[in-house]
Structure 1
Amino acid sequence: MSSFSSAVVRSLSCLFLLLLLSSSLASESDHKYQSDDPVTLWVNKVGPYNNPQETYNYYSLPFCHPTGNPAHKWGGLGEVLGGNELIDSQIDIKFEKNVEKSVICHLELDEAKVKQFKDAIENSYWFEFFMDDLPLWGFVGDLHPDKNSDNGKHVLYTHKNIMVKYNKDQIIHVNLTQENPKPLEAGKLLDMTYSVKWMSTNVTFARRFDVYLDYPFFEHQIHWFSIFNSFMMVIFLTGLVSMILMRTLRNDYAKYAREDDDLETLERDVSEESGWKLVHGDVFRSSRNLVVLSAVVGTGAQLALLVLLVILMAIGGTLYIGRGAIVTTFIVCYALTSFISGYVSGGMYSRHGGKNWIKSMILTASLFPFMCFGIGFVLNTIAIFYGSLAAIPFGTMVVVFVIWAFISFPLALLGTVVGRNWSGAPNNPCRVKTIPRPIPEKKWYLTPSVVSMMGGLLPFGSIFIEMYFVFTSFWNYKVYYVYGFMLLVFLILIIVTVCVTIVGTYFLLNAENYHWQWTSFFSAASTAVYVYLYSIYYYYVKTKMSGFFQTSFYFGYTLMFCLGLGILCGAVGYLGSNLFVRRIYRNIKCD
């Protein structure tokens, strides 16, 4: 039994190291070749161009199949989750060796193959290859005008011309052009051919991915303008919050602290005052569903740190280069930052008198992962039904579960214990009264629901333009690389969210409504609602996606993203409001 346990530990250690290193190591070598060394052309996937997630195995179409059992390459957890399956095409390519027109295979067409190819051409199927970790793309075929038919003539490209640029012993750039279109007719024999041309270049290996980066798109003037606009919003909101703290509250403190006024003056001041001071005996009352609130605040704090870490790593490590590197980094960093969620949640739950800390710990550790697992399960079922590469293999599911069960969950447990013991003592400035104060009816715009929905407008406005670039990079084949922009926008989002939530909390307390905890959370979290509404607009106006499969994946992935964004913003809003509430009640007399 001991040997079995040690073997399990070694396996998990190797697995974790593999996940950490898979995105940074070269796939099969150090990317250096000698003359006449074999260079592998990997085929990856094929699918409708307008539906980025609807991808299938390249050989799901009746292309020339390699003989025997061709090699497969697994580049890491993120690559598998991204729907990649690299298979050796067995096409003979050697470093620095030009290949004139050479036959890959003789493709004999029958009715079934013709139908498959025609369906693929009508749906604008494209395919993806890789050579030395550099992508090549091409379309399966095309529709040419046909004088004898109302429909176009389906033609299949039968020749692939591969151009490779190299610098000394390293491949710098690859390009694929297709020629020799042939009409699709049953019973016809097509010669599928290829050629390879090698050219020398002075571009260094470090800059070989620059050709895939769309500089004019991401560095457009509107991108800079959006940053400036958001920055001005930050200045306005911080000024507004400062005015509340420095003027309104200072005057309120001065009135509230006067002891030498006569009774008539004091009664007049009290009647004229706003009501935030009148609820000092209830403002620190524990909120409803304290376990859930603690869990989402802890999870949101973890997600905020996680996003910051991933952005910083992307800035320093060019993670966009590796297939699935961002996803791998996100999963590993999420597991390692689980201590933060437990610490924040456990401390908050204990400070508010919570007793069922085990329930709080389990909910904190499993809330966001299980929501993602639930959405992922539905999408995976759809992908399996369609036979798509987007379907996650069972082994990959086990790997993700093991990471959660053996890394994330124990760290969340440890964080909860530390949070309870180190920051779990109650420290409220005002004592909570036994009998809750009745909340007077106020105008409709001061109700928690309206405050919550209005709270997300300005944070959404600060990230609106960046959402367009993020959505376009994910759904329209753009490589997102301007993580410096993302870092600025993320910091602006945090500041705007805190400021807006503080203002909303102040208005709510002035309305003598002391249920500010959930209101502050939802006020910030409503940002995600506007992002999701924007995603609906983006789907119908900015994309050409179609079909149940792609629609499900688009709105499923977007829902997953918005849930995380809502929890993150909600936690930031609550924590900011919590500091604000403690600050303003610290200097008043709490009788």
Structure 2
Amino acid sequence: MAEKKGITSTMGCYAVVLVLVCSAIPVRSDASDHRYKVGDPVPLYANKVGPFHNPSETYRYLDLPFCTPAHMKEKKEALGEVLNGDRLVSAPYKLDFLQDKDSEIVCKKTLTKEEAAQFRKAVAKDYYFQMYYDDLPIWGFLGKVDREGKSDPSEYRYYIFKHLHFEIFYNKDRVIEINARTDPSALVDLTEDKEVDVEFMYSVKWKETNTPFEKRMEKYSQSSSLPHHLEIHWFSIINSCVTVLLLTGFLATILMRVLKNDFVKYAHDEETADDQEETGWKFINGDVFRYPKYKSLFAAALGSGTQLFTLTVFIFILALVGVFYPYNRGALFTALVVIYALTSGIAGYTAASFYCQLEGTNWVRNLLLTGSLFCGPLFLTFCFLNTVAIAYTATAALPFGTIVVIFLIWALVTSPLLIMGGIAGKNSKAEFQAPCRTTKYPREIPTLPWYRGTLPQMAMAGFLPFSAIYIELYYIFASVWGHRIYTIYSILFIVFIILLIVTAFITVALTYFQLAAEDHEWWWRSFLCGGSTGLFIYAYCLYYYYARSDMSGFMQTSFFFGYMACICYGFFLMLGTVGFRAALFFVRHIYRSIKCE
């Protein structure tokens, strides 16, 4: 046990230190100190364009026939930026420091029929653009559709904006804020299928502000901190807390009273009638610690779940210390990749140690199963979705070099740490602590009513934890699959703790009722009941997609349901591990409190 704690602690510290080094440093522009003199060029990069309601379906900015800059260069991106779909290139606008401009011409060009059709299709799908000016994000729409007074879509008029106005705020020698707005009167009609002459223009206005440079990112997180939103978040917390208090209070009262009666009854039976036939959960004391079927798979699931739990805790630590501030591009993806790679040793140690405790012999196969249990489905999903992104020529398609980097991380970091953890777990010589001896032959499980089956029990176990988090789920989905910014990580962490408590308590309660019905096959049941919240979250995905979002198209649908399936599967493994650990602690406690022959 001491060895396990030492390995876990060392890996945890290593992960935190390395991720803080890798992702706490924000992505810098060419001017790394963000200080400029009058007339200095300030880096402006065009990132991507795409349908506003399809956040995964984004394309390179110059995939549309915009003006191409004279000296175009691509910005080198970190791993997390590439995973985020960022593809930055120098923009055609020149926004030199403290240089006002009035109706500067970017370029004049004649759009061919094909190019005009490209813009028309983009405007019809509500395309937006995204740029970065001195690492500050800029958004805007490409055009508009005139639907006023027209019921037939064939009568709609399609326009693109040809004039972009930049309003930039500065404090001494630093850029503080930038806003971009289009001129609603400067339009180009693209409705007709013909060549169109376009004169792209822009203007720049500089204004002074007292906002310090250190607070320039705060405006992007203010929307989630508005009183109305905070009120909803706190309502979610109060709702969850009430659920937890009622549930834990009810279960604790019932279980303590029932267990006390059980202990008194069993103690009385031992003193007065030794030959009296035992009933209830004591009756199966010789079977309750019988090892589960498919113990290699069970140990692998515990190892993967423990790793994902550790990953989640580390991500929360980084979020709470402020690493994931708004538009720190790619920081979250970098942290996920690095921490998952570094915590693979925890998965190997947990799986191999528990597998050996269950008297398993083929620990190498168990280790391979542990390494592929979560990564396997994730890899297959990625292969399919990356193929879809390549077919769409979207920025979500990872370049070959990035795929090679991820493969090297897996081959040189994840796999060796998994093997080292597995060897340490195998050599830990830990024994399974069972307070009762297991009989040679298992007892027959009595016939039970349908509602005591696995699926009904999973439905009961998953509903309560899900009800404690579902209000907060909307804001998380709107951030991950939309354009909202989520910054209230403290509230999210409280909700996460509540989720763990409710999962543990409901699993313990259902395990007791299962044992009281003389059903001793509780191992897999407790894991499945604990992880069933992941199935409810995936069901919420269906509701969110069809009722709360405007996402559409094959690519966006594939990305949403594909990656959410992997995330919910991860929740299933993580919460299943929490449920089983709580149930194991409970079962050991109650059987240690009675005399078993």
Q: Tell me the TM-score normalised to structure 2 length.
A: 0.91
- Secondary structure (helix, strand or coil) at the match of 1:63 reads coil
Task: Write the distance in 2 (CA, Å) between the matches of 1:514 and 1:504.
Answer: 12
In the other structure, the counterpart of 1:117 is: 119
The partner residue of 1:189 within 177, 183, 197 is 197
Task: Write the distance in 2 (CA, Å) between the matches of 1:60 and 1:90.
Answer: 14
Contact 2:49 2:130 in 1 (8 A): yes
Task: Write the distance in 2 (CA, Å) between the matches of 1:418 and 1:197.
Answer: 63
2:234 counterpart of 1:231: no
2:82 counterpart of 1:64: no
Q: Which amino acid is the alignment partner of residue 212 of structure 1?
A: Y
In the other structure, the counterpart of 1:278 is: 283
Change beyond 3 A, Cα 1:147–1:521: closer
Q: Which amino acid is the alignment partner of residue 198 of structure 1?
A: W
Instruction: Give the 5 Å matches for 1:378-527.
Output: 378-422=384-428, 424-527=430-533
Q: Deviations over 1:35-56 (max 9, x none)?
A: 2110121111111111111111
Contact 2:50 2:59 in 1 (8 A): yes
Contact 1:145 1:152 in 2 (8 A): yes
The partner residue of 2:268 within 258, 274, 277 is 258
Task: Write the distance in 2 (CA, Å) between the matches of 1:146 and 1:529.
Answer: 44
Q: Which amino acid is the alignment partner of residue 178 of structure 1?
A: T
**Higher mean C-alpha deviation, range 241-250 or range 380-389:** 241-250
Contact 2:92 2:106 in 1 (8 A): no
Task: Write the distance in 2 (CA, Å) between the matches of 1:364 and 1:187.
Answer: 59
In the other structure, the counterpart of 2:8 is: none
The partner residue of 1:313 within 318, 325, 340 is 318
- Secondary structure (helix, strand or coil) at the match of 2:448 reads coil
Contact 2:23 2:334 in 1 (8 A): no
**Higher mean C-alpha deviation, range 324-333 or range 363-372:** 363-372
The partner residue of 2:580 within 571, 574, 590 is 574
In the other structure, the counterpart of 2:594 is: 588
Contact 1:102 1:194 in 2 (8 A): yes
Q: Deviations over 1:400-451 (max 9, x none)?
A: 1211221122222222222233363232111111111100001122223321
Change beyond 3 A, Cα 1:18–1:232: closer
Contact 2:348 2:425 in 1 (8 A): yes
Contact 1:49 1:125 in 2 (8 A): yes
TM-align CA RMSD: 2.1
- Secondary structure (helix, strand or coil) at the match of 2:321 reads helix
**Higher mean C-alpha deviation, range 232-241 or range 56-65:** 232-241
Contact 2:177 2:216 in 1 (8 A): yes
In the other structure, the counterpart of 1:174 is: 178
Q: How far did 1:258 drift?
A: 3.2
- Secondary structure (helix, strand or coil) at the match of 1:103 reads strand
In the other structure, the counterpart of 1:288 is: 293
- Secondary structure (helix, strand or coil) at the match of 1:320 reads coil
Contact 2:526 2:580 in 1 (8 A): yes
Q: Deviations over 1:214-253 (max 9, x none)?
A: 1238834222111111112222232244335532222222
2:544 counterpart of 1:538: yes
2:215 counterpart of 1:211: no
In the other structure, the counterpart of 1:161 is: 165
Instruction: Give the 5 Å matches for 1:306-385.
Output: 306-321=311-326, 322-385=328-391
Q: Deviations over 1:20-79 (max 9, x none)?
A: 2585342331222222110121111111111111111111111111235x2212331111
- Secondary structure (helix, strand or coil) at the match of 1:306 reads helix
Q: How far did 1:89 drift?
A: 1.5
Q: How far did 1:556 drift?
A: 0.9
Q: Deviations over 1:463-491 (max 9, x none)?
A: 11111110011122011111001110111
Change beyond 3 A, Cα 1:533–1:277: same
- Secondary structure (helix, strand or coil) at the match of 1:24 reads coil
In the other structure, the counterpart of 1:27 is: 29
In the other structure, the counterpart of 2:304 is: 299
In the other structure, the counterpart of 1:37 is: 40
Q: How far did 1:100 drift?
A: 1.8
Contact 1:109 1:189 in 2 (8 A): yes
In the other structure, the counterpart of 1:7 is: none
Task: Write the distance in 2 (CA, Å) between the matches of 1:18 and 1:231.
Answer: 32
Q: Deviations over 1:253-299 (max 9, x none)?
A: 22222367544x973xx57x5x2111111111111111111111111
Task: Write the distance in 1 (CA, Å) between the matches of 2:421 and 2:310.
Answer: 15
Q: How far did 1:19 drift?
A: 8.5
Q: Please, which runs of 5 or more residues in structure 2 have no aligned partner?
A: 1-17
In the other structure, the counterpart of 1:104 is: 106
2:58 counterpart of 1:52: no
Q: Please, which runs of 5 or more residues in structure 1 have no aligned partner?
A: 1-15
Q: Deviations over 1:475-532 (max 9, x none)?
A: 2201111100111011111111000100011111111111111100110111011111
Task: Write the distance in 1 (CA, Å) between the matches of 2:392 and 2:313.
Answer: 36
Task: Write the distance in 1 (CA, Å) between the matches of 2:543 and 2:315.
Answer: 28
The partner residue of 2:256 within 239, 246, 264 is 246
Contact 1:308 1:487 in 2 (8 A): no
Contact 2:296 2:355 in 1 (8 A): yes
Percentage of pairs with the same residue? 40
- Secondary structure (helix, strand or coil) at the match of 2:397 reads coil
Task: Write the distance in 2 (CA, Å) between the matches of 1:297 and 1:305.
Answer: 12
Q: How far did 1:17 drift?
A: 9.0
The partner residue of 1:548 within 550, 554, 573 is 554
Contact 2:348 2:419 in 1 (8 A): yes
Change beyond 3 A, Cα 1:187–1:238: closer
Change beyond 3 A, Cα 1:17–1:217: closer
Task: Write the distance in 1 (CA, Å) between the matches of 2:312 and 2:418.
Answer: 18
Task: Write the distance in 2 (CA, Å) between the matches of 1:469 and 1:281.
Answer: 48
Q: Which amino acid is the alignment partner of residue 336 of structure 2?
A: F
Task: Write the distance in 2 (CA, Å) between the matches of 1:244 and 1:343.
Answer: 37
Task: Write the distance in 2 (CA, Å) between the matches of 1:98 and 1:51.
Answer: 35
Contact 1:218 1:469 in 2 (8 A): no
In the other structure, the counterpart of 2:82 is: 80
Q: Which amino acid is the alignment partner of residue 158 of structure 1?
A: K
Task: Write the distance in 2 (CA, Å) between the matches of 1:172 and 1:99.
Answer: 19
Task: Write the distance in 2 (CA, Å) between the matches of 1:482 and 1:328.
Answer: 20
Task: Write the distance in 2 (CA, Å) between the matches of 1:44 and 1:103.
Answer: 21
In the other structure, the counterpart of 2:4 is: none
Change beyond 3 A, Cα 1:67–1:242: same
Contact 1:53 1:550 in 2 (8 A): yes
